[in-house]
Amino acid sequence: PQDHLQVQSNFVVYITLYIYLKMAPKSKPDLVTRDYTIHLAKRTHKTTFKSKTPKAIKEIKKFAEKAMGTKDVRISTDVNKFVWSQGVRNPPKRIRVRLSRKRNEDEDADEKLYTLVEHVQVASFKALETETIDA
C-alpha cells in the first residue's frame, strides 16, 4: 500500500507540472507588426444607432488587446477618422488595420509594451489574410 501512495503522489505531481507548463502564457516576440481585417458589422450588430460607432472603436481596441496581448492600446487618428467618416449611426462594415507591438518609452509605465493601431487603405477586402510585416 505504501508504494501505491508513492506512485499516486508522483502521478499527481507530474500532472500538476504538465498542466502548469501547458497553461503558462506563451512568450511572444517583443516587437511585431501584423495586418488584420476587422469585421465591424459583426461586432456592432444589434447595437443602438447612437452607440454604433463608439462601440466599433471599443471593439477595435478589444481586438487589438486580444491579438497582441497588451492592455495598453493606442488608436491612431487615421483609424478614428475612418471609423467616424460615415457618422455615428453607420460605421464601416470592415476595416483593415496594422497592429504594431512597440516598447513603451515611459519609465514609470505599468506595461513595457503597447499596441499601436494604424489604418491600412485597401481597394477591396476580398481574399485578404492576416499578414506579418517584417520591420
pLDDT at 64: 97
Question: Rounded to two decimals, what is the model's pTM?
Answer: 0.79
Tens digits of residue pLDDT in 71-121: 999 999 999 999 999 999 999 999 999 999 999 988 888 889 999 999 999
Q: pLDDT value at position 33?
A: 96
Pairing of strands 73-75, 113-119: parallel
Alpha helices in 1-135 (DSSP H): 2-23, 40-44, 52-68, 77-84
Cell of 102: 512597440
- Please report the pLDDT score of residue 57 as a whole number: 98
Q: Cell 481596441 appears where?
A: 61
Calpha distance 131→111 (Å, rounded):
25
pLDDT recorded at residue 74: 97
8: pLDDT strictly greater than 80: no
Nearest CA among 105, 83, 101, 102 for reference residue 92: 83
